[in-house]
Amino acid sequence: MYGWPLLVLCALLPATAAGSSGRSYPHRVVLDPEGKYWLLWGRQGERLAFRLEVRTNGYVGFGFSPTGTMAAADIVVGGVAHGRPYLQDYFTNADKELEKDAQQDYHLDYAMENSTHTVIEFSRDLHTCDANDKSLTDSTVRVIWAYHHEDPGESGPKYHDSNRGTKSLRLLNPEKASVLSTVLPYFDLVNQNVPIPNKGTTYWCQMFKIPIFQEKHHVIKVEPIIERGHESLVHHILLYQCSSNFNDSVLDFGHECYHPNMPDAFLTCETVIFAWGIGGEGFTYPPHVGLSLGMPPDPRYVLLEVHYDNPARKKGLIDSSGLRFFHTTDTRRYDAGVIEAGLWVSLFHTIPPGMPEFRSEGHCTRECLEEALGTEKPSGIHVFAVLLHAHLSGKGIRLRHFRKGEEMQLLAYDDDYDFNFQEFQYLREEQTILPGDNLITECRYNTKDRAAMTWGGLSTRNEMCLSYLLYYPRINLTRCTSIPDIMDQLQFIGVKEIYRPVTTWPFIIKSPKQYRNLSFMDAMNKFKWTKKEGVSFNKLVLSLPVNMRCSKADNAEWSIQGMTALPPDIKKPYKAEPLVCGTSASSRLHGVFPLPLLGCSLLLGSMLSAQGL
């Protein structure tokens, strides 16, 4: 009789203990703008552990959603009610109706409530094989959150009203140990009071001069500096190395990028040395790698290109955003480089309307890598991080790697791409690229809601398909991209001849009659696209020869530049290992207990033994 109250007391210990379960969480982010809801998390083998710290004395909700809404979501609700911790696994259907999950896959590890906050810690397997749960992978995850000032009643949780939100995260991005000193010097490259036009897309360019160093320095961390309130306005930032043959007069003013009146000096800035995307945090280089400054081949003048996304076309916006660079004279072993791979940004990148799925491929060809790496680094380069980039219709991106016709493990992927969340993915293990390898940046698009063609281009309504590879040691290869021939694409819709020589852009079609004197863009839009036609066109485009871009620094080119190549003959596609369902839930039923409960069980056992029971 004395054992049962003790068992109940032991079960409640996590709710009355102070602090936490003792587990460490390498990742931490605030989910709401007022700082009331904090998420901490960390991976433990094939499980993911979470800690929620929320300013409420009611329930706390957390989950994963394919769209960032309540529809078809995987949700957990927890808290402490009347001194008792609780945690319940739920899911929602397409109509956002909340239902208890028959398979409870979330395990409560700790819960605590004080006068202001509720704290709960729980864990789950990455892959539960429950149709109502979301598998957690390296792809972007749209987490949803909510809270209420009351705990759930018999009818379940009450509606959370405005205490809710969503945020895209990459939950499995490997944690990196901090190696920065708090007194590390830094410099900023920041725009000053840029007037943002009241149009959907603006690219603004400004040249800067790197501080003069008397000895070699390594940048070991880069952080975004985004003006408060402009977190959704500043979509991405690229930093280019420019020619060193300038004087400081080029620094006097900024200008809209890709504009006919853009200063000629901007045209020399072709080599990407850093990239940041919306939603991303600061980037820390690995301990053996840094971005070199102060040496003859290093950047002296740089161009900061900021993409402003203003879909509401707001007037009167003034921005002063940019990047911060932490540097040191304690240099690392290797200099970092960046390679832009994928599809050359061009109108020749075409996507038909009304397509629920359309695939584009940008090739970093065997011929380009054979020449560049064979000349510069025959033993290969080592990739340690990748940034994947597309625009609004992009739904998934994969960076595929081939060697001698055999597909290697994916370098990087995001099967749930979110245009509003882009950051470098650290690779779990560095991957080596050898001379003669192939890389394919594969992008999936959805244009079901579009009535006209989608073209490659700079606007967010246009599309891109790019990968930025951070690697070492640095070599003289800055761009490795491709584009399929436009005439082969136009033949699909029946175009026979264009006016030559080409004197206008976009160029004009001569025959057949139904397209005569139309630009190729107008002809593609005039064609009656159906889903069947779109699928056939997609198959054609993926088989076409591609025109190669294989570029060096300072606008130089490898000899292979401009030539054509065939897509690789893939003899052995890569097959990922099948997902393995977690066994932790069943193992807990067979004698494996969380440590606090195990201690209570031992204490309970000794008490019962002493009583002769």
pLDDT in tens, 33-43: 888 999 999 99
Query: What amino acid occupies position 173?
Result: N
Please give the pLDDT value at position 182: 62
Please give the pLDDT value at position 606: 33
Whether a cis peptide bond, with omega within 30° of 0, leads into 506 is: yes
- Which residues of the chain form CATH 2.60.40.1210? 3-169
CB atoms within 10 A of CB 333: 11
Say whether 203 is catalytic. Answer: yes
Please give the pLDDT value at position 605: 33
Q: Write out the H or E segment, with its range, that includes residue 489.
A: helix 486-492
Cα 492 from chain centroid (whole Å): 34
Query: What amino acid occupies position 534?
Result: G
**CA proximity to 316, closest of 192, 198, 193:** 198
Are 204 and 312 spatial neighbours (Cβ–Cβ below 8 Å)? no
Rounded-to-integer distance, Cα 78 and Cα 59, Å: 6
Catalytic residue among 235, 327, 363, 389: 389
Rounded-to-integer distance, Cα 277 and Cα 24, Å: 28
Using alpha carbons, list the distances in angstroms from residue 343 to 353, 362, 405, 442, 487. 19, 4, 21, 9, 17
The CATH code for residues 186-565 is: 2.60.120.230
- Which residues of the chain form CATH 2.60.120.230? 186-565
Please give the pLDDT value at position 34: 86
CB atoms within 10 A of CB 573: 9
Please give the pLDDT value at position 216: 97
Query: What amino acid occupies position 406?
Result: E
Inter-axis angle of helices 595-610 and 3-16, nearest 10? 160
The CATH code for residues 3-169 is: 2.60.40.1210
pLDDT digits (tens, 9 = 90+) for 280-304: 888 999 999 999 999 988 999 999 9
Q: Is 2 left (phi over 0), alpha (psi -120 to 50) or beta?
A: alpha
User: Over 90: is that where the pLDDT of 264 sits?
Assistant: no
pTM: predicted TM-score of the whole model, two decimal places: 0.86
Secondary structure class of 218 (helix, strand, coil) = strand
CA torsion angle for 337, 255, 393, 279 (degrees, to 10)?
60
Q: Is 279 left (phi over 0), alpha (psi -120 to 50) or beta?
A: left
Secondary structure of 541-563 in the HEC alphabet?
A: HHHCCEEEEEECCCCCECCCCCC
Secondary structure of 344-409 in the HEC alphabet?
A: CCCCCCEECCCCCCEEEEEEECHHHHHHHHHHHCCCCEEEEEEEEECCCCEEEEEEEEEECCEECC
Please give the pLDDT value at position 181: 60
Are 88 and 78 spatial neighbours (Cβ–Cβ below 8 Å)? yes
Which residue is associated with the tokens 């002063």?
A: 320
User: Over 60: is that where the pLDDT of 557 sits?
Assistant: yes
Please give the pLDDT value at position 555: 78
Please give the pLDDT value at position 189: 96
| Mean pLDDT of the 453-464 span | 93
Whether a cis peptide bond, with omega within 30° of 0, leads into 573 is: no
Whether a cis peptide bond, with omega within 30° of 0, leads into 578 is: no
Work out the mean pLDDT of the chain and round it to a whole number: 88
Lowest mean pLDDT among 91-95, 506-510, 587-591: 587-591
Tokens of 79: 């808290």
Catalytic residue among 203, 240, 285, 417: 203
Rounded-to-integer distance, Cα 520 and Cα 536, Å: 19
Say whether 389 is catalytic. Answer: yes
Q: Write out the H or E segment, with its range, that includes residue 27.
A: strand 27-30
Are 373 and 560 spatial neighbours (Cβ–Cβ below 8 Å)? no
| Mean pLDDT of the 398-423 span | 93
Are 90 and 101 spatial neighbours (Cβ–Cβ below 8 Å)? yes
Rounded-to-integer distance, Cα 59 and Cα 77, Å: 7
Beta strand 37-44 pairing with 27-30: antiparallel
User: Over 80: is that where the pLDDT of 591 sits?
Assistant: no
Please give the pLDDT value at position 193: 94
Rounded-to-integer distance, Cα 370 and Cα 368, Å: 5
Tokens of 457: 């281009």
CB neighbour burial string for 475-500, b if at least 16 within 10 angstroms, e if fewer: bbbbbbbbbbebeebbeebebeebee
